[in-house]
Each structure stands twice: as C-alpha cells, then as structure tokens.
Structure 1
Amino acid sequence: MSKIHVIHENPLWLPPLAEAFDRIGLPWAELDLSRGTFDLSEPPPEGVFYNRMSASSHTRGHRYAAELTAGVLAWLVRHGRRVVNGPAALDLEVSKARQYAALEQAGLSIPRTVMVQDDNAALLEAVRRHFASGPVILKPNRGGKGLGVRLFASVDQLAAHLEGAPADEAPVDGIWLLQDYIRAPRPVITRAEFVGGRFVYAVEVDTTAGFELCPAEVCEVGDAFCPAGPAASAPAAPRFNILPDGIEPALRGRLEAFLAGSGIDVAGIEFIRDTAGRVLVYDVNTNTNYNAGAEEAAGLAGTARSGPGALAAYLAAELGRGQRQAA
C-alpha cells in the first residue's frame, strides 16, 4: 500500500506528527536516516516522501545524516517519487549562506552578514573591518539548536571567547557567519509557519530569556541565542504566542513566493523587525516543529488549523494525488 514515508534522524520529534497522521487515518512509516544502506540499482518504495532532515543532525551524533539524505533524495527524484521538501529544500536547510542568497534573490532583506572560513585570526580581522562600530553576532553556517550562536559587544570580547571556545562549537562545515545585531523596539521575533507553501499561522516569540530556535519542548538546550538582545529575567507570560491576525498580506505573499521559488513545501521562517519597522529574515527552517502550548492556547490543537493538522491534511492530499495519477 502506498504511504507517507517520513525521513528523519530524530525520533523525539515524531509524536505530534504521528498523532495528527493517525487521527485522519493517514498511512505512514518512518525512514530513519541517521544511518542506512540503500541499493541504488533498485527502485524505492511507492508513496510520498516527507523530508525532515535537520541541519542540527550532527549535534546528535549523526554527522553524515544530511549527506546520506542528499543521496537518498536524488535516488527518489530519479525514480519519480514525490518528495516534500526535496533536494533544493535540504540544500538551504544545511547552509545559512545559501539561504540568505535565496532570500535576497526573492527581494527579502537579511541582516548584514560576512562569511569567514573557520580561522580565529580571520574572524577577528573581519569584525574589525565590518563591525567595528557595534555588537556582532557569531553563528555557524550550518546551524543546530542555537549551538555556537553568540552575541559579542566588541572584538575584544570575541577574542577572549575564541581563546577558550569549546571544540564542539566549531562549525561542522568550517564556515562561520558574522552578522549585524538587530535592535528591535520590542524583545520579540516572529516565526511564520507554512505548509504546502501556504501560510498557516505566525508565532510571536518572547526573547527576553534568550531565544531557542526550535519551538518544540524536546529542543531545550540551555544557553540560547537572543537575536533581539542579551538575556534578561525570564518572562512571566508564555514565550510562544500565536498571533490571531497573522502577518500582513504583503509580507505573507513575499514569503510564499520565496518558498515557491526555492522548492520548499514546509517551513518555519523567522524574522525580526528593527526600530524602523523593517523586516529582516534571519532563518528558514525546513525541519519545522510546532509549539504545543501555543497551539493549545490559541484553540488550534488537534484541529486541521494546527501545524501537525495542516501538515497531515497536506500530505494526505499529496498521497491521494499520486494514487490518482497512478490509477
């Protein structure tokens, strides 16, 4: 029987999706690519393949999971299988530099960014040359749970950090990014969720206690990066809140056009507004997770308007389309 195949390397992220799939009777199976063996001379199984490979896979001991996934996706495409978040999406997932190029090509603004090969002397020289007048953010090109993403007030502060930086914070692809610190009028960022290339809802995230990229509860990693400013006292209100009015139609249309042009079906796009009201996009997460507490508070949990519910409905439609075409 044809089914949905969920490509992943972290089973802890599957339960909310499994519940939504089972609720509508969607046949599915997981395809764990933390490791694997594939006979490329044989055709893959029938069905729709949903790629959830994460840029942070190396932080869970799966250093080459993304590379294995790239090969598997090429095999699937070669045999005409429908892949949700296919090779183009994976390519942007594992490289913020390529994300930023695609965003700017689509007419979206990003924070000023300088790319540096993993070399301390080159990093410090780049900060002196491009960010001497203010704070700078250091982040790895291939992200992962906020690991290695830090805000520095000066080049001297960065130099002191680099002297004793943990080895596991080094970028897995050898590329660091230096980025402008964005001053926001309020300590929040916005994450807009899209399924099937269409807007589902937007979450406002309070960053006063630091910002963790992944909204799922299983993503807690302790020390986190706050793009809107340094950490302060923890907020009394929930950190994740779904905006009842969503985002403005013009921005929604531009983000949807970016996804369509980039071959991305499912994503969470994160942006911040500066003091002038300008929207700056700083992350595209094609392995999106959803905050259960925010969905519950907004009355979306367990419905087709939730993130997992919208995803289940979309994948069911894709599976049905494939079955009709094969008939």
Structure 2
Amino acid sequence: MTTPQVHVIHENPEWFPPFAAAFAQQGVPAREWLLTGGSIDLDQEPPEGVYWCRLSASAHTRDHAGSKDYGRAVLRWLESWGRTVIGGSGTLELEVSKVAQHAALRSAGVEVPRTVAVFGTEDLAERSRLFRAPFISKHNQGGKGLGVRRWDSHEEFAAWVGSTDFEPSPDGITLLQEHLWTRAPFITRAEYVDGELVYAVRVDTSAGAFELCPAEACAPDVDGVAAPPLFTLREDLTARHPLVAQHQEFLRRTGLRIAGIEFAETLDGRLVTYDVNTNTNYSPDVEATAPASGPGRIAAFLGGLLAAEHGVTQV
C-alpha cells in the first residue's frame, strides 16, 4: 500500500509550480493528478490521502473542455469512498457556474450585482434593455475574466449578438449585469484558506480590462519586458473588515475551504461581491510583500489534514 499523501487534481501544469514549491518547503508529500484524460476503476478503492481539486472554469480555453465532466466523475467516486476532498463536487459546481455563485452569495447575505441569466440568444438583446447602459455581459462558465464585456449602448450589444463575432458561454448561458461604478479604479480580491483571510489584493482596473488572472503564467509583457504590476497588497483590509465576516458565512454555508473572492466598492457606498474563484492563484508581486503566503497556507492546511487523518508527518 502506498503512503498517504496530498493528491492535487488539476488540468493546468503552468499554475502548479508555486504550490509544488510550498509542499516541498513544508515537507508535505504531494502528487499531481493531471485530469485531461485517463480512467478510473469505479469498484476499486482510491489511494489513501487527502485530495485537493483545482479544476478551473477556464479549462476549455486550454483544450481541456472535458476536464469539468471528468472532474465530476472523479469527485463523486472519491466522495463515495469517504475520501477527504477539498474542493469537492459542490465546489466544482460553484467554480463552473456564476449563477450558482450569485445564488449562494445572496443567500448568505452578501450583496451581489443585479444580474439576469439568459438561456440561448433568442431574447438576449431584448433582455439587455432591463439594464441602463453601460452594462456588462459575461459567460456563466468563465474563468480569468474571459467573456466579460462592457457595452455602452443596447444597439451595439444587439448587433454583436446577431453577428458571427458573438462568443457564447460554454454552457450557453449569458449573464447580463449592472455596471459597477467604483469610487476608485480598482477592485479587491480577498484570499481565504480554511475560512480565514490570508490577505487582500488591490487589483488595478484603470485600463478597463476584465482579464485579471493573478498567476505568473498570465502576466503580460511587451517586447519581453514585464508590465507594471496590476496586483498589490491591500494592507488596510483586514479580518476586522465587515465584509470579511459576510464572506466567511458564505464560505461556511457552501463548504468552501479555499477561495479568492472579488468585490467592488462603488461610488454610492455599496460593497458588491461579484466573483468567486475556488481554484485561486496567487500573484508573485503580492506574495513577495505579503505577511503570509497563500500557497504556504494551503500547504500547511492540507498537510495538517493529512497528519490528522493518516498520521503522516512532514518529510
């Protein structure tokens, strides 16, 4: 029988190195399970250990569209055998559905943006008129900010919907959403591990971009020169902030143990949460200045579970 370890289920090797380094630094035995194909014997007991699922809503952009459904099958198999799974089947459903995120956040008392989900395109342009321009359209299954667009007129949106340039969500559900006017050109991403705030990140939105992936693999460069950092540590937002308690209630209700939650502070004084990342990545620029490490906290958390359940100590 193999020694119990942390099994990390994912589909993007480019995002794994910071976590591999954190596991190694803390002496937590871990292995990758790259879920882009393969097979499982449903009648065979899974290997011992703790499982952490990092499957992403953006997998389809890397030609891994099947990973979502592969993950559904694997996670149900693991859970049926009683394995501890961080980021299990319920978490995966939140990752791949902004409708599910919106409903869960609202149910937990967290303020969310006015949103309409449209199935297909038949009345998509007409439904957009429920919102005053500018407004936002986005994919229900997104990831990395892909598929998010701002529209300054209903006519422009209708022309796009009726054109060959229209880009549907992988699941055919388009979200229409109010545009959030922020009091300053940034949004905040609060990082949580095991229900506790690790740190908050100030994300510069002055360029108007929506593709705000914090991972080093996503960092843009011009002629080989890295662009100025979009992500900086937000030191004024601490665990005492009132929104943190609301986020923690949401995490408790949904069973999320690891997440990055994004919110905006609007001109009219609202604190509006609009996105949940259940397979959070961490900005190297922030990690270099933060009082605690996101990957480090995750390695310690999963290593602690492994020790508690299987008696596996750090190696």
Do they fold alike, i.e. is TM over 0.5? yes
Aligned sequence identity (%):
47
Tell me by how many angstroms 1:221 deviates.
7.7
Secondary structure of 1:48's aligned partner: strand
Q: Give the counterpart letter for 1:188 in structure 2.
A: F
Work out whether residues 133 and 154 of structure 2, in 8 Å CA contact, stay in contact via their aligned partners in 1.
Answer: no
Instruction: Provide, for residues 164-191 of structure 1, a one-character-per-residue CA deviation record: whole Å limited to 9, x for no partner.
Output: 4546x31110100000001111010000
Partner of residue 263, structure 2: 271
Partner of residue 123, structure 2: 122
Unaligned runs of 5+ in 2: 222-226
**Distance change (3 Å), C-alpha of 1:97 and 1:108:** same
- Summarize the alignment of residues 247-266 of structure 1 with structure 2, pairs less than 5 Å apart: 247=238, 248-266=240-258
Work out whether residues 187 and 207 of structure 1, in 8 Å CA contact, stay in contact via their aligned partners in 2.
Answer: yes
Q: 2:284 aligns with which of 268, 277, 292?
A: 292
Tell me by how many angstroms 1:250 deviates.
2.1
Instruction: Provide, for residues 2-59 of structure 1, a one-character-per-residue CA deviation record: whole Å limited to 9, x for no partner.
Output: 1000000000000000111101111000011111200001010000000100011111
Secondary structure of 1:108's aligned partner: coil
Tell me by how many angstroms 1:324 deviates.
4.2
**Distance change (3 Å), C-alpha of 1:244 and 1:220:** closer
Q: Give the counterpart letter for 1:193 in structure 2.
A: E
Separation (CA, whole Å) in 1 of partners of 2:212 and 2:253: 24
Work out whether residues 6 and 49 of structure 1, in 8 Å CA contact, stay in contact via their aligned partners in 2.
Answer: yes
**Distance change (3 Å), C-alpha of 1:251 and 1:142:** same
- Report the RMSD for the aligned CA atoms in angstroms: 1.7
Tell me by how many angstroms 1:75 deviates.
0.8
Unaligned runs of 5+ in 1: 223-235
Partner of residue 237, structure 2: 246
Partner of residue 295, structure 2: 308
Partner of residue 280, structure 1: 272
Work out whether residues 186 and 205 of structure 2, in 8 Å CA contact, stay in contact via their aligned partners in 1.
Answer: yes
Q: 2:112 aligns with which of 110, 113, 131?
A: 110
Separation (CA, whole Å) in 1 of partners of 2:168 and 2:56: 18
Partner of residue 227, structure 1: none
Partner of residue 176, structure 2: 178
> 4+ runs of 1 displaced by more than 3 Å?
163-167
Q: 1:43 aligns with which of 32, 42, 45?
A: 45
Separation (CA, whole Å) in 2 of partners of 1:115 and 1:163: 18
Separation (CA, whole Å) in 2 of partners of 1:30 and 1:66: 17
Q: 1:68 aligns with which of 24, 48, 70?
A: 70
Work out whether residues 146 and 211 of structure 2, in 8 Å CA contact, stay in contact via their aligned partners in 1.
Answer: no
Separation (CA, whole Å) in 1 of partners of 2:146 and 2:277: 15
Using structure 1 for the length normalisation, give the TM-score.
0.89
Partner of residue 226, structure 1: none
Tell me by how many angstroms 1:245 deviates.
2.9
